[in-house]
């Protein structure tokens, strides 16, 4: 006998929405289980039961925006801290990239619940995704995400000579952080002082700590790609909408 699970959890597992969205839709009477409306929060379902959502829920979801920002140094990804501004303060009508091809018009209501899907620390720059869409957040930062994130990292070797080949191999696979083995990465030299890192996870200050472990000091770190979406020519401090034809 399969155990019943919370309806909101099951909706999230199916990729219909985030758990928070699911609770909101359930409370509004927008969710049906096997054709019957379920409006009680905390309701449970069995895995074989059919879940559908009303048109109002789909319409609300379609209005949710996802923004791509080229984060400059000195901004934090999430909540304001230690006097530093959050990256979302850069999203306004004036700082929208002039070459953004999306037909959407900017409206301040789009800033409501616009949250970062993944982080870039205060000293790092490049592609930061801010979204109102729980499905995209889950796709990018969910526990089972397999979406690659690519970084260009300027480094300085703190020991005599050049980084040994064995240590480059270690960056690719074999390092542990906080007592846990890291997933395999793709790390290669771009030029004499710059490495390309492609990761499928995002532990706090992961690249800086990986570099430290093999005697490399990070001088600059820029995220240039998340899945199939690239930073491209987006200028620092400016943003654009994720296009309707773009998928991570």
Which domains are delineated in the chain?
A: 5-62 (3.10.290.10), 66-144+231-241 (3.30.70.580), 149-226 (3.30.70.1560)
pTM: 0.80
- What is the residue-wise DSSP string for 67-130? EEEEEPTT-BSSS-BTTBPBGGGG-SSTTB-TT----PPP-GGGGTT-EESS---TT-EEEEEE
Q: Provide the terminal-to-terminal Cα distance of the chain, rounded to the nearest Å.
A: 37
The first and second tokens of residue 187, run together, are: 């790390």
Set 121, 133, 192, 193: catalytic member: 121
Please say if 121 is a catalytic residue.
yes
C-alpha to C-alpha distance for 238 and 216, rounded to whole angstroms = 31
C-alpha to C-alpha distance for 94 and 61, rounded to whole angstroms = 26
Amino acid 134: pLDDT = 82
Amino acid 38: pLDDT = 95
Amino acid 1: pLDDT = 56
The first and second tokens of residue 15, run together, are: 């990729």
Per-residue pLDDT of the chain (248 residues; tens, 9 = 90+): 588 999 999 998 888 888 888 999 999 999 999 999 999 999 999 999 999 999 988 887 777 899 999 999 999 998 877 788 999 999 999 999 999 999 889 988 889 889 999 889 999 999 999 999 888 888 888 767 789 999 999 999 999 999 999 999 999 999 999 999 999 999 999 999 999 999 998 888 999 999 999 999 999 999 999 999 999 999 999 999 999 899 99
Residues 200, 146 contacting (CB under 8 angstroms)? yes
């Amino acid at each position: 006998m399969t155990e019943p699970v919370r309806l909101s959890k099951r909706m999230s597992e199916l990729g219909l929405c985030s758990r928070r969205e699911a609770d909101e839709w359930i409370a509004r009477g927008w969710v049906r289980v096997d054709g019957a409306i379920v409006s009680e929060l905390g309701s449970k379902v069995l895995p074989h039961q059919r879940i559908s959502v009303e048109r109002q829920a789909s319409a609300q979801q379609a209005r949710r925006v996802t923004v791509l920002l080229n984060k400059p140094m000195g901004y934090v990804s999430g909540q304001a801290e230690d006097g530093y501004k959050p990256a979302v303060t850069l999203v306004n009508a004036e700082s929208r990239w002039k070459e953004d091809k999306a037909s959407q018009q900017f409206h301040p209501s789009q800033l409501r619940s616009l949250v970062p899907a993944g982080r870039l620390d205060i000293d790092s720059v490049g592609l930061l995704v801010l979204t109102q869409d729980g499905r995209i957040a889950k796709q990018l930062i969910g526990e089972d995400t397999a979406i690659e994130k690519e970084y260009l990292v300027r480094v300085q070797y703190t020991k005599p000579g050049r980084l040994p080949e064995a240590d480059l191999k270690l960056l690719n696979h074999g390092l542990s952080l906080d007592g846990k083995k890291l997933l395999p990465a793709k790390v290669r030299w771009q030029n004499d002082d710059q490495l390309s890192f492609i990761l499928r996870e995002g532990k706090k200050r992961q690249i800086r700590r990986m570099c430290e472990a093999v005697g490399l000091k990070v001088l600059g770190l820029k995220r240039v790609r998340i899945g199939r979406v690239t930073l491209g020519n987006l200028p620092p401090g400016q943003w654009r909408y994720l296009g309707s034809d773009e998928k991570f």
